[in-house]
Amino acid sequence: MKIPVIIDCDPGTDDTIALIMALASEALDVKAITTVAGNQTAEKTAVNGLKIVSFLDKQLPVARGAEKPIMRPLVTAGHVHGETGMAHVVLPEAKNDYLETKAWDLFYKMSVESNEKIHLITLGPLSNVAIALMKYPHLKDGISQITMMGGAVGYGNDTQAAEYNIYADPEAAKMVFESGIPITMVGLDCTHQAWITQNEIESMGKPSKENGVWLAQELMRHIHEFASRFGFEGAIMHDPSAIAAVIDPTLIQTEDYFVTVETKGEHTLGKTVVDTLRVTGHEPNAQVALDMDRERFVELVKGLIQQYEI
């Protein structure tokens, strides 16, 4: 039975690899892609979303979302993903256009209205989900689970305390953790174990034309170069880890913890505050991913990407 999913993302180099994987997976029924301001502006992430779906020759709706965080100015990550959000890669113009429907309205239409519970996978700031929660008090009735790439137990990558997706819109993230929707938090504790080496990247194929394999390898090479500056053993696959965790939950090891988000701290703004010692007495509200089976993860990534060679 395929899992009905909507993928909310801010493409984004690793978002793109995550989409390549998800759109090749037999385990997922990807109903729609929604985009949000994050790695780049809302306009750029939306155009990238359209171009990726078009380039991979997939037929599915793309809906735009928030232009900025719900209560703060937008902080993009062009230093990581480049001016376009797609590093050095230039994709052809999209053959299709985005829906008139906004991302948050699409979440509601495709879940509560259609009576099909949707597994929401978020790969960027949580602005769209927060707006949906504010606009549709019954949204949670239509969402089976949220699997998010975001947060960390003990450290950050955008600041010393906060991971980018949470830091970019901490108020939105706090609202999502308080929503009561089952959450799997795939944070840095897990994604920093999901690296892909240069040899593994090259072993994925030698495409004779610009296809999904070529796109994934080009972006992995870009990420590998960036990650190696920080001493990582390979290209860190943040967003692909979240997709992999939905396709095969046995890849990750999780613990149930109570998680909230710091929205006021001078040095800790955007930190996911994880009650690992259970001192708050609060019931756990998230499965927090702490470990990734890297070898099996790489095999999964390779198998999905090679679908585009066939």
**String of contacts with Ca ion for each residue 239-268, x by CB under 5 A:** x-----------------------------
Q: State yes or no: residue 10 binds ligand RIB (CB under 6 A).
A: yes
Output 56 or 148, the one with its CB closest to Ca ion. Answer: 148
- Give the residue, chosen from 15, 169, 189, 200, that forms a contact with ligand RIB under the rule CB under 6 A: 15
Q: State yes or no: residue 169 binds Ca ion (CB under 5 A).
A: no
Closest CA to 157 of 233, 236, 83: 236
- List the single partner that 89 binds among Ca ion, ligand RIB, none, CB under 5 to 8 Å by kind: none
Output 124 or 205, the one with its CB closest to ligand RIB. Answer: 124
- How far is CA 84 from its chain centroid? 18
Q: State yes or no: residue 149 binds ligand RIB (CB under 6 A).
A: yes
Q: Which stretch binds ligand RIB (CB under 6 A): 131-139, 163-171, 197-205, 208-216?
A: 163-171
Positions in 106-145 near ligand RIB (CB under 6 A): 123-124
Q: Which long-range contacts (CB under 8 A, 24 or more apart) does 109-112 make?
A: 110/6, 110/31, 110/32, 110/142, 111/139, 111/141, 111/142, 111/143, 112/136, 112/138, 112/139, 112/141, 112/142
Output 69 or 124, the one with its CB closest to Ca ion. Answer: 124
- Give the residue, chosen from 38, 49, 82, 85, that forms a contact with ligand RIB under the rule CB under 6 A: 38
CB of 74 to Ca ion, least distance (A): 14
CB of 11 to Ca ion, least distance (A): 7
CB of 264 to ligand RIB, least distance (A): 21
Output 53 or 126, the one with its CB closest to ligand RIB. Answer: 126
Positions in 165-204 near ligand RIB (CB under 6 A): 165
Gap between the Cα atoms of 102 and 63, Å rounded: 6
- Give the residue, chosen from 89, 123, 273, 274, that forms a contact with Ca ion under the rule CB under 5 A: 123
b/e map 120-142, b = 16+ CB within 10 Å: bbbbbbbbbbbbbbeebeebbeb
81 is catalytic: no
Of 81, 119, 224, 238, catalytic: 238
Output 112 or 168, the one with its CB closest to Ca ion. Answer: 168
Output 112 or 186, the one with its CB closest to ligand RIB. Answer: 186
Gap between the Cα atoms of 141 and 293, Å rounded: 32
Angle among Cα 235, 216, 122 to the nearest 5 degrees reads 75
- Give the residue, chosen from 5, 6, 8, 12, that forms a contact with Ca ion under the rule CB under 5 A: 12
Q: Which residues bind ligand RIB (CB under 6 A)?
A: 10, 12, 14-15, 38-39, 77, 123-124, 149, 157, 163-165, 238-239
Any idea which residues carry the catalytic annotation?
Answer: 238
Q: Using CB under 5 A as the criterion, which residues of the chain lie in contact with Ca ion when the complex forms?
A: 10, 12, 15, 123-124, 239
